[in-house]
Amino acid sequence: MSDRVRIGSRGSALALVQSEWVRDRLQALHPGLVAEIEVIHTKGDRLLDAPLAKLGDKGLFVKEIEEALREGRVDLAVHSAKDMPTETPAGLDLVAFTAREDVRDVFVAHPRAPLRRLADLPSGAVVGTSSLRRRSQLLALRPDLEVVDIRGNVQTRLRKVEEQEMAGTILAAAGLARLGRADAAAFAFTFDELLPAVGQGSLAVEARTGDEAVAALLAPLADTASALAVRAERALMRALQGGCQVPIAAHAVVVAPAPGDPGPAPLLLRAFVGSLDGAEAVRREAVGSSAEPEELGTRLAAEMLAAGGDRILAAVRAEAGGG
């Protein structure tokens, strides 16, 4: 193994903070190692005018980085776990999911709007979000709101809230915290209000299959509980054939086992599937063994499809033109 590794990263401020976090920890864990970040621009970074749902699901923010990894131009890649397609390309592996930050979504209000809870938004208030997941759940709670598409990095979206006189926007608490902007949040949504994106709050670190030297470098960054939760969420998303074109949300967490229970800790998974206008939705939760996270995700997905999720998703895909 060389004493130098190259890290593939998107070029946004948030992506660079995340990649720098990995770089700094690798160099602290492995004295003498030099880790360099190479910025790679993805399709999702270049096409900022179109709604995310119109751009397709397949590696919108990761494809070009994965190509660089497969071609050997970088040695590992750092992604937001929520950006990862449910199928990993041949020749690549997700070798580490980092410990999750706060997984909740938060509401960032217009500076002149003293909001402290969802009920404070007046009827007809305009909220910006590019996420169909957030749109559906928000409208399920407050159908009287107007939701408009807003894209760009965190700073761009915050600026657009002011320029376009929106009531506010919805962002991931983890992203704001990593940027040192946690104080921008007016309030956090509860999980009963908005469930997060699959993988939200965790970083996914990717490497070439069989590159045991890089995998060994990254092993100390992997968090077992976060990995189990994200694996359950990704299995649910895979079974629902989800992505940014459909409103799907999920959150899993390892819970404390019953006193004296010698088996693996239980894993609680909650999920949401909704129509674009939030008028129809299926919410379910299930508990399974943390030893079989994929089984839990697949099982809950089947329950949701049988409860009407199949019809909702078919209608969403037809409306979005995704077939």
Q: Do the Cβ atoms of 195 and 249 come closer than 8 Å?
A: yes
Q: Which of 75, 83, 102, 105 is catalytic?
A: 83
DSSP letter string, 45-91: HH--SS-GGGS-STTTTTHHHHHHHHTTS-SEEEEEGGGS-SSPPTT
**Separation of alpha carbons 254 and 224, rounded Å:** 10
Half-sphere exposure of 232 (CA within 13 A, CB side): 30
Side by side, the strands of the sheet bearing 281-289 are 248-254, 266-274, 281-289
Short-list 253, 292, 287, 252, CA closest to 272: 252
Angle between helical axes of 154-163 and 13-29 (0-180°, round to 10): 150
Q: What's the CA gap between 101 and 97, in Å, rounded?
A: 12
Give the integer Cα–Cα distance in Å for 149 and 151: 7
> How far is Cα 318 from Cα 196, in angstroms, rounded to an integer?
24
Closest to 201 measured CA to CA, from 235, 177, 236 = 177
Active site residue 192: no
Contacts of 224 (CB under 8 A, 6+ apart): none
Residues assigned a catalytic role: 83
